Amino acid sequence: MLEIVEKTLLTGIGAVALTQKKAEELVDDLKKRMNLSEDEGKNLLEKLRTASQENQKKLEDFAQDEVKKACERVGIVTQEEFNALQSKVKKLEKLLNSQEK
């Protein structure tokens, strides 16, 4: 299941990278067709990059939330939860060992 989530996340990130390349091509095309200056083209590309980065961040946050939800549904514990339980078990073992002596 985690493989599917990982592949989905990587696909999304790949799509963002592909979108960035397409955005650059679009800006080059618009510069030619609309006689945009170099500065206007750069400004447009920067706006597209900013939007792309914001969308990538949103996608990563969404994917992370979905992975957490999926792990909770399946019953997978987090590393933090595991460490807390491990610590409790060690304390209980010490307590039991001290009472046996």
Q: What is the DSSP string of 44-99?
A: HHHHHHHHHHHHHHHHHHHHHHHHHHHHHHHTPPPHHHHHHHHHHHHHHHHHHHHH
pLDDT at 9 exceeding the cut of 60: no
How far apart, in whole angstroms, are the C-alpha atoms of residue 67 and residue 52? 22
More confident residue, 17 or 56: 56
Mean pLDDT confidence for 23-31: 71
For residues 48 and 21, is the Cβ–Cβ distance under 8 A? no
pTM of the model: 0.47
How far apart, in whole angstroms, are the C-alpha atoms of residue 44 and residue 36? 10
pLDDT at 14 exceeding the cut of 80: no
pLDDT for residue 1: 47
pLDDT for residue 52: 74
For residue range 32-85, list pLDDT tens digits in order: 777 767 787 777 778 777 877 787 788 888 888 888 888 888 888 888 999 999
